[in-house]
Structure 1
Amino acid sequence: MTVSEPTKTAFISQVIKLLIILVSLLLPSSNAWGQQRILEKGLCSRPSGRVYSTGDRFLKAGKYLCLGQRINPANGNTVKVLCFSNRKFLYLNQSTIFNEQICAPPAYEAVQCSVLNIVACPQDYKGQDEQENELIVTSPYGSSIINNRPDISWHPVSDADSYTVSVKGNGAEWEREVKNSTILTYPKDEKELQYGNTYTITVISNQGDRPLNYYPKVVHLLPVDDVTRIRDEVKQVKDLGLQADEAAYLDLDAVFMSKLLLDESIKTLKAQVAAGSKNPTIYRLLGDRYLGALLPSEAEQAYTIAGELAKNSANKSELEKIQSGLNLLKWLKEQ
């Protein structure tokens, strides 16, 4: 049977149209696969976010996101993602490129001393030798907290034989004497701090009956709505079942630092150190957070350990970040 030329032309035209349709359907899947392969091969210099829900056509909950990667919500679903740099959860209900426009660093970054912002760093830093006899309250770390019964700790003063710790603010006013220790667990018989209020924690070093010096620290307990949201987001991170170090230095740090909760971030990182982590990123970020809490001595110790671990694992990226932190510490000492 002979097929006429017009019939052949029509058939070829239909085949071409069908191929175009198939390619258009398969292309997004190919792109998504390719983007994931980029992550798997380590070609993405640093993951910038994570998928936190089902609903994407190709990406599962828990998957990393790179800048430039496309979010493809399926059938009108909303995809929840966490951006590490601006520390926000984003809810995307249409095809969206995960880029710097929607994942820009927060404006409040300018209020924290860091390797990215030396303007907020203290201009009167004293070296370790000069600080030896200076009283400094170390924890709660930073000025914002969510724990309404925080432990209180401070640097020791060489000539002191006791310390007086007091807390004053709305609904709380108490005082304790501490001997042979530089940490006080919040007393069980005292009323807890109230959410949304500000308190002054003062530690006085004593030699016998004579006070040597004192250090007042002002802390603000976040409003209950913020505390509830933070705790809910922490639960979501833990429910993903991530590797503990990774959850600490990426997701949990992003959640806590969304409200500048240095206290929670530092305690989380210290828990990983206590668990035996040898990850240089844990120690380097701990140094960064100590620096944000204006504790240069603790920051230097963390950076030093991070540097040793990074050298042992030939981690050039971490070594560069660690050196930035050490350079800032050197700059502080020269002020």
Structure 2
Amino acid sequence: MNSQTKQAARCTTETARLFTEGDKNFRPGTLLCPDDLVVPVPGKRPRLLCLNNRRVIAGQTGRVGDLCAGKPKNQIVCGEDGCSGSARGTEGKPSLIRPFGPTLISKRPDLTWRAIEGATHYEIRIKGRQFEQEQTLSETHLKYPQAWPSLEFKNAYHIDILAYQGGTIISADRATVNLLFEEESVAIQENAAAIKQLPFSLRDVAVDLDTLYMSQNLLNQSIQLLEGLREKGESNPQLNEILAKRYIQAGYRDLAESLQEAN
């Protein structure tokens, strides 16, 4: 972060960022230290993002270190070397690449998968509770068809990708994705919007947004954010390191290695 977002160092390690109005002692955007005391203005519910455990605290009074105590949210599901349910990238398989990770927020996700040598076309099948759609195409990208119904919150879906050579299946793979509960999705989007409204550049709050997205293991949201900054030439070594880590967690170590070689 630059000096504007980092502010004058008041402690060794900042614990949280206040990202909405309504606190008596601090302005939105302030990085908070463990001994800082947050006190909501009467009738307000200021929100702060705990950087150590990925939790959002709303409308509470107390010492920041105490409010942000506890284990990281979803620590078990998503670890350093991968996320449960995100193992993809098997060699020789038309593995789903995008959306990354097992947890989604989008109800109409576009799909991208690995090309298979010799394949003439692919068949995409998506199955869930009271949901079954399929489409055949020659490309390795499917923009979510307008004619398809949207996926539903809190449901799981199997995405089968079959590679054909003429009329013969030469390879196939399956990915399973889960949509968040609707209230979780709304909260994530509202909090992300509030963070983006802070008087800083998107690059300067990218770590905060990544922390927020990973509170629900939203690898796809985090990777989209970090890739977008990189494509615009607005990334930095810290964000590239985070992006490489997210690729690994999504099951694509080769993408992480390519990124590291390019830096």
Instruction: Identify whether the pair has TM-score above 0.5, normalized to the shorter chain.
Output: yes
The CA deviation at 1:273 is: 1.6
> 1:154 aligns to what?
113
AA of the residue aligned to 2:195: V
Distance 1:171 1:277 in 2: 43
Question: Which structure shows the higher strand fraction?
Answer: 2
Q: Is the 8 A contact 1:113 1:291 kept in 2?
A: no
Counterpart amino acid of 1:112? C
Q: Paired residues, what number?
A: 259
| Aligned residue number for residue 73 of structure 1 | 39
TM-score, normalised on structure 1? 0.68
Q: How big is the alpha-carbon RMSD for the aligned residues of Structure 1 and Structure 2?
A: 3.0
Does residue 214 of structure 1 match 2:172?
Answer: yes
Judged with a 3 Å threshold, the aligned counterparts in structure 2 of structure 1 residues 232 and 282 are, in CA distance, closer, same or farther, namely same
Q: Which one has the largest radius of gyration?
A: 1
Instruction: Specify the code of the residue in structure 2 equivalent to 1:277.
Output: E
| TM-superposition CA deviations, 1:105-163 (whole Å, max 9, x none) | 42521222416xx897999997xxxx3x3321112211110101101111111221211
With CA pairs under 8 Å and 6+ residues apart, which has the higher RCO, 1 or 2?
A: 2
Deviation readout 1:23-79 (Å, 9 max, x if unpaired): xxxxxxxxxxxxx9xx6455755543211234444421111123x331242766764
Residue in 2 aligned with 1:255? 212
CA positional deviation for 1:252: 1.4
Q: Which runs of 5+ in 2 are unaligned?
A: none
Aligned residue in 1 for 2:135: 176
Q: CA deviation at 1:214?
A: 0.5
Structure 1 residue 232 and structure 2 residue 190: aligned?
A: yes
What amino acid is aligned across from residue 80 of structure 2 in structure 1? S
Q: Is the CA contact (8 Å cut-off) linking 2:104 and 2:177 kept in structure 1? A: yes
Specify the code of the residue in structure 1 equivalent to 2:177. Answer: V
Q: Distance in 1 between matches of 2:125 and 2:86?
A: 26
Q: Deviations over 1:151-182 (max 9, x none)?
A: 11111112212111111112421111121x22
Question: How many angstroms apart in 2 are the aligned matches of 1:234 and 1:40?
Answer: 21
List runs of 5+ in structure 1 lacking aligned partners: 1-35, 309-335
Judged with a 3 Å threshold, the aligned counterparts in structure 2 of structure 1 residues 104 and 280 are, in CA distance, closer, same or farther, namely farther
TM-score, scaled to structure 2: 0.85
Structure with the higher helix share, 1 or 2: 1
Amino acid at match of 2:27: K
